[in-house]
A and B are shown apart, each in its own frame.
Chain A
Amino acid sequence: MSLATTTLDFPIVRHPYRLLRPFRDSLSAGSRNLIAYWRVPSLLIFSTIQPIIFVLMFRYVFGGVVGLAGLIPYPYVDYLMPGIFVQTTVFGAIGTSIGLATDLQSGLLERFRSLPMSRSAVLGGRTLADLVRNVFVAALMVGVGFAVGFRIRAGVPGLIAAMLVVLFFGYALSWVFATVGLMTGDPETAQAAAFPVMAPLVFASSAFVPVTAMPGWLQAFAAHQPVSVTVAAVRALCVGGSTATSVLEALAWSVGILVVFGPLAVHRYRRAT
């Protein structure tokens, strides 16, 4: 039975490699986001200047105090930088919320949803572009770290493994913030909504100070939340020592976040008005 018998004479010409549609469309949509970073460098400022300020502030202003407390058996800068790597990807992910909310408000998502493109491609493309941005920002932060005295204690393979853990965590977070962006629907609200999600994750964590310095009620949360767990894995890979457990825990968090927020974000995309 052919559709042509029941419909007007408008045959549908599908792309020859139909199964590749989600990937092809994600690349098309993602290239759009990368071009935006290239043409509007100010989009990158929040995710580059801001972490540099954090590095300088924690390294030179708070670092002395934290070091004096005697909670860390090695230089504070080596403790700090793994925290900065993770914190940077978390802050950067706000861009995902703002970008999608902007597209939603401008009517661009409306057009995309009327096209025969994969339903996951706008999000796939956006998160892919954010991953590329995170590679750039992570490399920059490693450079900044070296400039302020950060040294890898576990060799280059350790650093590369650490960066992969950071990037995977950042990718998973993009889907969380994509969901936030699609639920709010305008850039200002998206930014306002993303901050309370982000702030406790970054600051009530072991990113900048050991959780043992926090009050007991906060420690329970701070020790097990995804940022702390990921920072612990990254730190272990940079500083050396046993890594297997912490890395597995970190990957488990990232996979868990992806499994929950991937489908949720796509669902929100289909429903967004």
Chain B
Amino acid sequence: MQSAIRVDGLVKHFGDVHAVDGVGFEVAPGTVFGLLGPNGSGKTTIVRILSTILHPDAGRAEVLGRDVVRQADEVRYLIGLAGQFAAIDPNLTGAENLRLTGRLAQLPGSVARARAYELLDRFQLRDAADRTARTYSGGMRRRLDVAAALVQRPAVVFLDEPTTGLDLHSRNELWGMIRELVADGATVLLTTQYLEEADRLADRVAVMSEGRVIAFDTPACLKAQLGNTVLEISLSNETEALRAAQLLAEATGFMADREGTVLRISSADGTRVLLETVRALNENGLAPTTLTVREPSLDDVFLSLTGRRTSTAGASGEVSTDRGRR
């Protein structure tokens, strides 16, 4: 079966910054593909190349068999884009924003109008349809922006960090809408900094670092490699942390990663690890200052894949340059 998106040897440099440095992947039709990575890892640049906004320096990118450079106009008829920042006109109402996008997507006026109201209903914006977008909350703006990306019923949808800055409730709503989209037969490429988001939505994930894909897998396999839970133990000082790590290795066999005063243990069986760890520490008179059990994050994926943390965590000391829009 032909791919909905095919990227091969893609390169894009901005001066000395290698934003995308030889990336290739394929996305099957009707699936969700996640580009997972920290700021500046090249996700947005790939989205901008695929949506015909940027030309690549080398390599090829195709959407539904059409080259994004040579057949850009055709590609534009087939895609929808919701960028990192809500691209809506604050002086137009919600309905006007969608109708304008529809007309500029070459829909006949009556179709654009019908489609606008259909989407306002679906994104729960009908009550706000005739208010200027300036008065919308952050969550409403984001929903309107995603709605605008869908006006022309695109076969391939690009969502660049769709839930960044949304509260939990809005985020869950948007996730539901993205799932509906795929149920309707669309192919979705989304970028995210959250492993959880990729896990909830994506069929396959490419983990990106500094313009390259460093892992390519299903979210389930990625998480399984890490263990499903992460136990974080903070101790009052480094000496105690060292003692605790040694003790845990001897008494329980758990190998903890130490970073300063924090120990981190990844495991598929979080409950047992937690109980045994607490028992071992307690028996030896070591009292953790905090103890956290959590799901693995992008940071943990990075640590396990590259041996260093994402630059957003500030530990690698490397400054990432995000060539996306500011």
Give A15 to B84 CA distance when docked, in angstroms.
29
Number of residues from B at the complex interface, CB < 8 A: 45
Question: Do B104 and A108 have beta carbons less than 8 Å apart?
Answer: no
Which residue of chain A is the closest to B96 with respect to CB atoms?
A: A35
Q: Which of A44-52, A110-118, A243-251 contacts B (4 or more CB under 8 A)?
A: A110-118
Interface contact A29-B325, CB-CB below 8 Å? no
Is B87 on the interface with A (CB-CB < 8 A)?
yes
Contact A40 B106 (CB under 8 A): no
Tell me if B's interface is mostly helix, strand, loop or mixed.
Answer: loop
Size range of the interface on A? Answer: 20 to 34
CA of A28 to CA of B113, assembled, Å: 13
Q: How far is the CA of A15 from the CA of B103 in the complex (A)?
A: 10
Q: Are B103 and A28 in contact (CB under 8 A)?
A: yes
| Chain A contact residues: helix, strand, loop or mixed | helix
Docked complex Cα distance between A116 and B89 (Å): 19
Q: In the complex the two chains form, what is the Cα distance from A208 to B104 in whole Å?
A: 44
B112-143 near A? 1/0 per residue, CB < 8 Å: 00000000000000000000100000000000
Q: Hey, which chain B residues are within 8 Å of A110, CB to CB?
A: 48, 53, 81, 83, 87, 325
Chain B min CB distance to A254 (Å): 29
How far in angstroms is the closest Cβ of chain A from B90? 8
Q: Taking the complex as formed, is B100 at the interface, i.e. its CB lies under 8 A from any CB of chain A? A: yes
Does B147 count as interface, using CB distance less than 8 angstroms?
Answer: no
Interface flag for A273 (CB, 8 Å)? yes
- Given A7-B64, A110-B53; A117-B106 close (CB under 8 Å): yes
Tell whether, in the assembled complex, residue B91 and residue A36 are in contact, meaning their CB atoms are under 8 Å apart. yes
Inter-subunit contact A12/B77 (CB<8 Å)? yes
Q: Is the CB of A12 within 8 A of B87?
A: no
A116 and B76 form a contact (CB under 8 A): yes
Contacts of A35 in B (CB 8 A): 91-92, 96
- Report whether B53 and A10 are in contact in the complex, using a CB–CB cutoff of 8 Å: no
- Given the known A-B contacts A12-B77, A28-B104, A107-B83, are A114 and B52 also in contact in the complex, defined by CB atoms under 8 Å? yes
- CB nearest to B84 among chain A residues: A107
- Do B2 and A14 touch across chains, with their CB atoms under 8 A apart? no
Tell me the complex Cα distance, A198–B323, Å: 32
Residue of A nearest to B88 (CB): A108
Once the chains bind, are B29 and A8 in contact (CB under 8 Å)?
yes
Contact with B along A8-39 (1 / 0, CB 8 A): 10101111000001001100110110011001
Contacts of A111 in B (CB 8 A): 81, 83, 87, 101, 148-149
Question: Does the CB pair A8–B87 fall under 8 Å?
Answer: no
With A29-B104, A35-B91 as known contacts, state yes or no: A12 contacts B52, CB within 8 Å. no
**Bound CA span A21–B106, Å:** 8
A107 B85 Cβ-Cβ under 8 A: yes
User: Interface centre among A13, A28, A35, A110, by most B CB within 10 Å?
Assistant: A110
Contact among B52, B65, B89, B105 for A6, CB-based, below 8 A:
B65
Judge whether B155 is part of the interface by a CB distance below 8 angstroms: yes
A114's contact among B81, B85, B96, by CB below 8 Å, is which? B81
Assuming the contacts A7-B66, A8-B2, A39-B132, asked whether A114 and B88 have C-beta atoms less than 8 A apart, the reply is no
Give CA–CA (A12, B153) in the complex, Å.
12
A121 CB-CB contact with B under 8 Å:
yes
Asked if residues B78 and A12 are in contact (CB atoms below 8 Å), the reply is: yes
In the complex the two chains form, is B105's CB within 8 Å of A8's CB? no
A212 within 8 A of B: no
Contacts of B287 in A (CB 8 A): none
Ordered by A's residue number, 12 sampled pairs between the chains whose C-beta atoms are within 8 Å are A3-B74, A7-B65, A8-B64, A28-B100, A36-B91, A105-B325, A110-B87, A113-B53, A114-B76, A116-B73, A116-B76, A117-B105
Residues of A within 8 A of B (CB): 3, 6-8, 10, 12-15, 21, 24-25, 28-29, 31-32, 35-36, 39-40, 105-108, 110-117, 121, 273
Extra contacts besides A10-B64, A35-B96, A115-B76 (10): CB < 8 Å: A7-B2, A12-B78, A29-B104, A32-B100, A111-B81, A111-B101, A114-B80, A117-B104, A273-B323, A273-B325
